[in-house]
Structure 1
Amino acid sequence: MAEVLDPILPSDIDELTRAVLEAACARGLTLATAESCTGGLLASLLTDVPGCSHAFERGFVVYTDDAKVELLEVPRSFLPHGGAVSQPTAIAMAEGAIRRSKADVAVSITGWAEDVGDPERPAGLVHFACARRGGYTHHRQVRLGDIGRGPLRIECLRVALKMLAQAVDV
C-alpha cells in the first residue's frame, strides 16, 4: 500500500504499483520514469511503497521541450508543431531515460491534458513508451478525451504501470 498517495488513488493502481515494485525487486531490476503531462506523479507513486521503493532508480520530469532535449537527448527535430506528444518523442524519452540512468527499465509519458484548440493536438491524447536496457522499446498511444487534468493523470498512471508490469514480467 502506498503511504501518502493511497487515499487519492483507485485500489487497482495501488495493487499494480506494489506488484510492479515487488517483481522488480525479486528480479533485481531498477526503474526510471520520464514524465511530462503527469509531472512526476508516477515517480512519486513508485517511491511511496514501503519496503519496495529501492527498485526506483530515478525520475525525469521533462515538461518543456528544452527539458526533453537537455535531460533525455530527445532530438529537437521531433518537437516542433506538437511533436512533443508523439510516438517518436515518447520512445526517445524512454530510451533517453535508460541512457541517462542506471535503470533497467524506463517508462515515458507525454500527452495533452487539455484542449488547446488545435485538432492536431486533441485533449487526452497520450503517448507512452517502455524501454528495457539492452532490449525492446514498446509504444502505446491512448485517447482519453477531454476528461480533465486529474483524471487524465490517474489514467496515465494505470497505463504506465501496466507497461512496467509487462516489462518486469508481472
Structure 2
Amino acid sequence: MSSILTKTLHAVAVLTCLWLSVPQLVRHVDWTGYTAFTAEVTGGRRIEPADMALLAPVLDRTRVAPCDVLRNTPLVTLHLYANDLLARQAGVNPLLTADDEALRAQRVAARAVLEDALACSPLDGNLWLSLAIMSRALGDDAATTAHYLAMSAEYTPHEGWIARRRDQLF
C-alpha cells in the first residue's frame, strides 16, 4: 500500500514540476530564438519586411514587462527594428515624423517599452538616446527631446559608439 502511495506522490510531484517548468522552457526557447534574430538585426545582416510577421508575438504585448525581461531579452531592440521596418515600408525616414498610422502606433509602443526599460535602468545612456530619437520621430516638443538627449550625454558622455551616434543624429 505504501509503495502505491509513494508512487502516486512521486507522480504528482513530477507532474507539478512539469506543469510549472514547461511554460518557462517554452518562453526561454522563444527568447533564445529572438536573441539570435536580434544579433542578425544589430549586425546589419537582416532587414526584411517579412520579419513583421515574426515580430508579431513580441509586438502584441500590452502589459508592462518586468525588469528581468527588459534586461535579459531583446524586447527593446525588436521594437526599434519594427519601427525601422514600418518606416521603410511607408517610404519615410525612421528618425523623422510621419503620417503613417501603423508607424505612429508602433512608435508609441516602442516609446512605452523604452520608458519601461529606463525605469529599470535609468543610468543607461543608450536607452536615453533611443528615447530621444523616438521622441523626435513622434514629433514631441523640442524641449522634451533635448531633455532625453541631455540625459544620454550625462550618463554616457564619452562612450564611443553612443557619443558618435548622438553626434550624428542630433
TM-score, with structure 1 as normaliser? 0.24
Higher strand fraction (1 or 2):
1
Higher helix fraction (1 or 2):
2
Instruction: Select the structure with the greater relative contact order (CA < 8 A; seq sep ≥ 6).
Output: 1
TM-score, with structure 2 as normaliser? 0.24
Larger radius of gyration: 2
